[in-house]
Amino acid sequence: MYQSRLRPFIYLLPLICTLWSCKSLQPFGSSKGKNKIEGESFVLASTSPTNFLYPSIRKGSVTVRNTYLPSDSASIIYTEGIDYTIDYKKGSITRTAGSRIPDYSKHPLFEKTDFDQNNFSNYSNNPYFVWVDYTSRQKSIFPGNVSSENQLPKFTAKLKKGEPVLVLSYGNSIAAGAEASSPQFRFQNRWVDDLKSLFPKSAIQLQDGSLPGYTTVEGIAKWEAVIGKKNPDLVLLGWGMNEANIGGITPKEYQNNLVKLVQLTKEQKNAEVIIYSCFRPNDNWHYSSHSMNLYTEAAKEAAAISGCTFVDVYAIFEKVFARKDQPSLLSNNINHPNNFGHWLYFQTFKCLQF
């Protein structure tokens, strides 16, 4: 499960372009003063309240179920007043004492600090998630967008001309899809599907070259084998989670490696590049350096040095974590986002306005 002392357990690990803001957090759109959220994830412990992403919940708009999609055959719809209660003004949900909802206080890592997951046989959060649809009166906390013509001129021009393009994802286990329950919920697939809806005349292809459990060190070493044989128009560089582990490389080394990867891609493939940051892993995980902010700054600086687009996933997750607890977004309770977490990545990429 781990490959070396330098990368303990990294196989588990997986705007604002220079601080982008997202136009919306609503997967199915919004109207003035109305935010519709579908499939927000929660873990609910005992009878303690847990926050929604937004306060000011509209009464009658909430549906709580045990599956991500309401159409799943195993979907159970929980009942308000019996299985949970809601504070609509504050935007919080509380599991009742006799609820059918799984009690997260029974999780083996609940309230454990400095935990080593290898001491536990099963530490996944997946059996405890509930998924919630609701509407909030609160305005979106991520307004604004950035023109792609300034950030990705060649890629944007091809899309607008209806020409075929290849998007290549190159990164760690999160870039590979981590624990999205289906490929369709992986954030790159969602983003490319969104681009296809915007540019139906352009044949947009997505390929994955990710290296789960590795870092930019291996990314450079394996560049020729993975990217050298392809002809991408756009490369998505998604690293940083494994680098930020105890015993990993320094932020400066990470920055230099990202610059090298961009140089290789631009010079040998004439392709454009997006560097994106990643979120904080579980604050209670023993093997993290807990300095993701420094690695995010390094990634941002690498993008500025190499003249490529930067998508700040870290900044969005920090805003989300200001209201929501980390386990509610982590499938493995360490560093792999669940479907809602992948959706947040997708929304970050949607900040780029085409």
Among 93, 113, 136, the domain-final residue is 136
- Regarding whether 173 and 57 lie in a shared domain, the answer is no
In-domain check, residue 1: no
Among 103, 136, 169, the domain-final residue is 136
| Domain total in the chain | 2
- Regarding whether 162 and 58 lie in a shared domain, the answer is no
pTM (2 d.p.): 0.89
Taking residues 166-195, report their average pLDDT. Answer: 96
Among 86, 106, 136, the domain-final residue is 136
- Regarding whether 241 and 199 lie in a shared domain, the answer is yes
Contact 317, 276 (CB under 8 A): no
Least confident of 29-33, 62-66, 190-194: 29-33
- Regarding whether 193 and 116 lie in a shared domain, the answer is no
- Regarding whether 113 and 48 lie in a shared domain, the answer is yes
Could you read off the pLDDT of 299-340 as tens digits, one per residue?
999 999 999 999 999 999 999 999 999 999 999 999 999 999
Question: Is pLDDT at 34 greater than 90 in this prediction?
Answer: no
Contact 210, 168 (CB under 8 A): no
In-domain check, residue 263: yes
Taking residues 270-279, report their average pLDDT. Answer: 97
Q: What is the C-alpha to C-alpha distance for residues 341 and 223, in angstroms, rounded to an integer? A: 28
- Regarding whether 230 and 165 lie in a shared domain, the answer is yes
- Regarding whether 277 and 131 lie in a shared domain, the answer is no
- Regarding whether 291 and 222 lie in a shared domain, the answer is yes
Contact 132, 40 (CB under 8 A): yes
- Regarding whether 265 and 124 lie in a shared domain, the answer is no
In-domain check, residue 166: yes
**Residue type for 297, please?**
E
- Regarding whether 347 and 283 lie in a shared domain, the answer is yes
Quote the crossing angle between the two packed helices 339-349 and 187-198, to the nearest 10°.
40
Q: What is the pLDDT of residue 26?
A: 39
Question: Is pLDDT at 347 greater than 80 in this prediction?
Answer: yes
Q: Specify the residue for token string 């957090």.
A: 25
Q: What is the C-alpha to C-alpha distance for residues 227 and 166, in angstroms, rounded to an integer? A: 12
- Regarding whether 291 and 155 lie in a shared domain, the answer is yes
Q: Residue 221: which domain range? A: 10-18+143-353
Contact 39, 133 (CB under 8 A): yes
- Regarding whether 270 and 236 lie in a shared domain, the answer is yes
User: Beta 130-136 vs 63-65: how paired, if at all?
Assistant: antiparallel
**CA pseudo-torsion sign 323, 181, 205, 238:** positive
Could you read off the pLDDT of 92-118 as tens digits, one per residue?
999 999 999 999 999 999 999 999 999
